[in-house]
Chain A
Amino acid sequence: EVQLLESGGGLVQPGGSLRLSCAASGFTFSNYAMSWVRQTPGKGLEWVSTISGSGASTYYADSVKGRFTISRDNSKNTLFLQINSLGAEDTAVYYCAKTGGYTTQPNDYWGQGTLITVSS
């Protein structure tokens, strides 16, 4: 059974940083591209970033490029998202999601999400 468990969210001040983690199990982690998708409370989904199975290729939404860094540790079956220079617009639930394989394939399994609240 595919399981994705996010952690690392919380309350952070504007301008601060956070590192999200996503522990994966139930599939061969290194064979699948992985994504982060966020959802502002009460609003829609926004794709944030995708990383290839090897970690060699990464892609970002324009809204986070230069501030967010996606990475993975295939030896520990863990996905990461380093978030810097946080602003109020980054307040959201952040979901970790597995793709169908390649970065061109959609997300087929999602974690339950971790909430980041940016506030002073």
Chain B
Amino acid sequence: QSALTQPASVSGSPGQSITISCTGTSSDIGAYNSVSWYQQHPGKAPKLMIYDVTKRPSGVSNRFSGSKSGNTASLTISGLQAEDEGDYYCNSYTSSSTWVFGGGTKLTVL
């Protein structure tokens, strides 16, 4: 159950777009369309932002979008805002009937 691979940090200026990648294997990301993304602010619980690769829960801004190609999933945030700053984690279901998270990416809004 190795963690999914995410960049440690990304940054962008307000109004710009950024993309966070999440690389797994053919046993997790590549096997299922069960990739989700979470946002976490310091001292707070994670918040679901994207599920089933591309779907947004009710109330999540349409500035957040997800995609997948092969064993790599991506989260794109367009029109970057200061409130988007925080940590982002990808998550995937696996062929072992377990779940695995990425190591997390710290987003800094410059």
Contacts and interface: CB of A to CB of B under 8 A. Distances in A.
Interface of A: 35, 37, 43-47, 50, 59-63, 95, 100, 103-113
Given A44-B89, A44-B103, A45-B46, A59 B98 contact: yes
A106 B45 contact: no
Contact of A108 (B57, B93, B101, B102): B57
A66 to B, nearest CB: 15
Contacts of A61: 1, 98
A106 B89 contact: no
Contacts, number: 60
13 contacts: A44-B3, A44-B89, A47-B98, A62-B1, A95-B45, A106-B34, A106-B48, A106-B51, A106-B91, A106-B93, A106-B99, A107-B48, A110-B46
Contacts of A59: 97-98
Interface residues of B, number: 23
Contacts of B47: 110
Interface in B27-70: 34, 36, 38, 44-48, 51, 57
A111 B45 CA distance: 7
Contacts of B24: none
A108 B51 contact: yes
Contacts of B38: 45
A101 to B, nearest CB: 12
Nearest to A48: B99
